[in-house]
Amino acid sequence: MTRQQCNNEIQSSSNSQAVVAIQTGLKLRVYLQPKASRNEMIGLHGDELKIAITAPPVDGKANVHLIKFIAKQFSVAKSAVSIIKGELNRHKTVQVLHPKKIPTQIAALLQVDE
């Protein structure tokens, strides 16, 4: 890897906006992987948080499953999680209102961004 590639990689990771704290909670930029073998937060995928879910991307099932998964991870009601942008796309912006619990992966990203 050249010096320029290393510098670009460091800049892109430090400018990551995958998790942004807002006044009412958190905004997550998500890259969704439907039809995975299990539900999990995988980590960063570029400047987005990669989340794998088992539901297929058919008739909104993946979106419903994503909302359930995120609600469980943050210990909030499903009504506190909403997809703001990207309903029909893998790239989504998700808002979590007043999270009761912050998963360790998300907390690590928040510390880097602050």
- Sorted by sequence, the CB contacts under 8 Å of residue 35 that are 6+ apart come out as 54, 55, 56, 57
Q: What's the mean per-residue pLDDT of the chain?
A: 85
Architecture of 3-113 per CATH? Answer: 2-Layer Sandwich (3.30)
Reported as a single tens digit per residue, the pLDDT across 68-102 is 999 999 999 999 999 999 999 999 999 999 999 99
Domain boundaries, the chain: 3-113
Per-residue pLDDT at 43 exceeds 50: yes
Pick the closest to residue 86 from 30, 25, 20 (CA basis).
30
Distance CA 110, CA 19 (A): 6
pLDDT in tens, 7-28: 333 333 444 589 999 999 999 9
User: By mean pLDDT, which of 11-15, 17-21, 50-54, 108-112 is the weakest?
Assistant: 11-15
Question: How far apart, in whole angstroms, are the C-alpha atoms of residue 14 and residue 11?
Answer: 5
Share of the chain above pLDDT 90, in %: 75
CA distances from 77 to 26, 35, 87 (A): 14, 24, 20
pLDDT of 16: 57
pLDDT at 6: 37
Which pTM value belongs to this model? Answer: 0.81
